[in-house]
Structure 1
Amino acid sequence: MGLLRTILIIALVYYGIKVLSRIFAPFLLKYAAKKAEQRFGDQFGQFNKGQQKQDTQKKEGEITIDKIPNTKTSNKDVGEYVDYEEIE
């Protein structure tokens, strides 16, 4: 009798969780999506505030360079170039 009662309790708990998850899962997913959106918005807001701060400090007509281009330098110590021909 105890084994049958335990199996019945396990089955009821399983189906109860299954039913409750169908009811509450959409609310939990909406909550998680809203929190993620809020976090991304906060990060974008911090970035945007930093950009506005930099823009307000510039004087009119002032030139600023945000990115320095990569300059490719060749190393002269590598060796010399040897021209070759294919022999057939």
Structure 2
Amino acid sequence: MKLLQVILIVLVIYVSVRLILKYYGASILKWLGKKAMQRMSRSFEKRSGMNTDDLFNQSQGPRSSQKKVNKPKENKTVGEYVDFEEID
């Protein structure tokens, strides 16, 4: 009897998931895509220190009516180059 209940519950869950995906699958995928783009945009902003809005405003050229703020660029010194020679 318990086995029959488990099989029936699994079957109901399977059918309901299929129906939900059939009717709302496209909107769910669109929502997931939008969330992924937001996550990637935030990650890009963190790494570059620049908003994606700034990128779009710069691409508009001189027609942009917003003021551009010039930030001083940091001079990052990595280190000196060392040339190694192979020893036979």
Q: Which has the higher contact order (CA 8 A, sep 6+)?
A: 2
Q: TM-score range by the shorter chain?
A: 0.3 to 0.5
| TM-score for both structures, normalised by structure 1 | 0.45
| TM-score for both structures, normalised by structure 2 | 0.45
